[in-house]
Amino acid sequence: MTEGTALLAGRYQVGALIGRGGMSDVHVGTDTRLGRRVAIKLLKPALATDPKFRVLFREEAQKAARMAHPTIVRVFDAGEETVTEPNGTETQVPFIVMEYVDGRLLKDIIADGPIDPKEAVRIVSGVLTALEYSHRALLVHRDIKPGNIMVTQNGQVKVMDFGIARAVSDNSATVADTSAVLGTAQYFSPEQARGETVDARTDLYSTGVVLFELLTGRPPFRGDRAAAVAYQHISEAPVAPSTLNPRVSPALDAVVMRSLAKDKFDRYQTAAEFRNDLEAAGEGEVPARREPAANDFNATLFGINPNATAGSEAALRQLSAPEDERLARTQSRPPVAWIWVGIVAVAVILIGVVFWVVNLPPTTLGENLSVAVPAVVGQTYDAGAKAITSAGLVPSSSQASSDTVPQGRIVSLTPKAGTKVGKGQQIDIIVSTGKSAVIVPSLANMTQDAAVAALQAAKLAFGTSTPTHSPSLPAGTVISSAPAGGTSARQGDTVNLTVSDGLVDIPSVVGQDIGSANSALTALQLQITPVGDASCTGGKVTDQSITGANQPQHSAITLHYCSGT
């Protein structure tokens, strides 16, 4: 549907195009029933090829329409319109009618360069206010990015497209290019890049990416391919914003780095918590962090309770007080002779102990007090942990990827094998999770040579190539891959390709109506020449010039049919 056509849904006049995205075009419009200005988002027809998508899309739009908050662009209406194309085919076009916002997209503002940190704090605080409201309504946005955030002429922040990303991602099998719908990989959370379940903390990670970009003028991770950027979100730490923009304070650095934590349990857990720390950092305050509670002490240090004097100078004052300020002793001093006897006795005991230690066998003391860390690198964790426990040490495991050590086997120890340590000491064991995770690149429509090069760049191995008929793709063009593009794999995994052989199978249409025969062969993209025979009637095909398997694409075929009346 274009500007100047019939009313959309019988009431919305579609006006000039004001925005274009990967999944939709946005027009200014008029609600003729209420006489108000609106924004009309027309989604790509490819999103409506499955009826299940239309049902899910309508449900999610209804949820978004129930949210009324100053920081969220209101949704007034949604549905789908049947549009007749110039070639006569009918297409279902999903649409959303939204509040019209007079302002600029945040992505256009960022294009002008980094903005003042205080203004960045104000904008992101508005985004977090919107997310706090939506998360309370149990609605996760999933696609927070500068292209979905607007700033009005008076500075009000508005977030749009709530619910749409959910409708698309839950029905991604019907979407030709899911990456265009769910936003660029620059704003993916690690769990989105791994294809895991998302929750409110996914939105907070994406908001942290937006904050980073506002402060520095660029996203934290960049690359030539979406898969490369997604991999960085999973495995690489971002730099502190202050390294790119000296105006960013250490407090803001801390907020950004916490919001971009790979583990969602290490980042902010709620939008309110994120906003409070962000606003505190914007005012120059170091965000408050919970510290572990101090252990309770009952001991006394030189007659002073450490808890009672913690954080003060009381203990030092007691120890350094003049003699006349201390409590008077209640017993008399022993005779001087007894003091010298005690000193001599202690000296004799010390000499005896030293003599005993010096004359011990060289290994006896070491064997009683320390043990060597067992050499278990390369073993399975269970076997290695058992050996370490048997040595009187305490195993503690963590995981890391490794290109050389198989999954489940020990990569390294800290302290290293052979090191002498005290019994009962903790030994940190790094266990391999296998080779690093990578995202399989989208290879469809590439030549086979280009697809193999893309696999090598992604550190994946090319397996087999299976030729398959295709009516449209030229010979040597990739039709699909296994695993499919966008899925997760391990470095070195094998990817097999299905490649067009440039051939088609032409069925016999003799005896069919000329219309049905023409449709069947048109789907194979053949060059059809119908030849009518007026000597017979009925419109049936009587002969065809080509039939059979493995025919060249776009072959010319002549159909003879009865055209008499």
User: In a 3-state reduction of DSSP, which class is residue 548?
Assistant: strand
Q: Find out whether 128 and 43 touch, Cβ atoms under 8 Å.
A: no
User: In a 3-state reduction of DSSP, which class is residue 178?
Assistant: helix
Q: Find out whether 440 and 227 touch, Cβ atoms under 8 Å.
A: yes
Higher model confidence: residue 210 or residue 368? 210
Higher model confidence: residue 166 or residue 186? 186
Give the model's pLDDT for residue 361. Answer: 56
Average pLDDT, the chain: 81
Q: How confident is the model at residue 321 (pLDDT cuts 50, 70, 90)?
A: very low
Exposed, middle or buried: residue 79 (CB in 10 Å: 0-12, 13-18, 19+)? middle
Q: What is the pLDDT of residues 262-311, one digit of tens each?
A: 999 999 999 999 999 999 999 888 776 644 333 433 333 333 333 333 33
| pTM, two decimal places | 0.50
Instruction: Sort residue 485 into left (φ over 0), alpha (ψ -120 to 50) or beta.
Output: beta
User: Region 303-327: what's the mean pLDDT?
Assistant: 38
Give the model's pLDDT for residue 315. Answer: 35
Give the model's pLDDT for residue 174. Answer: 35
Q: Find out whether 95 and 118 touch, Cβ atoms under 8 Å.
A: no
User: Region 221-225: what's the mean pLDDT?
Assistant: 86
Q: What is the pLDDT of residues 512-565, one digit of tens each?
A: 999 999 999 999 999 999 999 988 998 999 999 999 999 999 999 999 999 887
Domains of the chain and any CATH numbers = 1-288 (1.10.510.10), 369-432 (3.30.10.20), 437-501 (3.30.10.20), 504-564 (3.30.10.20)
Share of the chain above pLDDT 70, in %: 81
Give the model's pLDDT for residue 87. Answer: 74
Q: How confident is the model at residue 169 (pLDDT cuts 50, 70, 90)?
A: low
Cis before 220 (ω within 30): no
Give the model's pLDDT for residue 52. Answer: 67
Give the model's pLDDT for residue 248. Answer: 93
Catalytic residue among 143, 161, 203, 277: 143
Give the model's pLDDT for residue 543. Answer: 94
Q: How confident is the model at residue 180 (pLDDT cuts 50, 70, 90)?
A: very low
Share of the chain above pLDDT 90, in %: 45
Q: What is the pLDDT of residues 383-398, one digit of tens each?
A: 999 998 998 898 988 8
Q: How confident is the model at residue 244 (pLDDT cuts 50, 70, 90)?
A: very high
The DSSP call for residue 161 is -
Cα 482 to chain centroid distance, Å, stands at 22
102 is catalytic: no
For β-strands 556-564 and 527-537, DSSP reports them as parallel
Q: The tokens 């506002």 sit on which residue? A: 214
Give the model's pLDDT for residue 264. Answer: 92
- Whether pLDDT at 167 is above 70: no
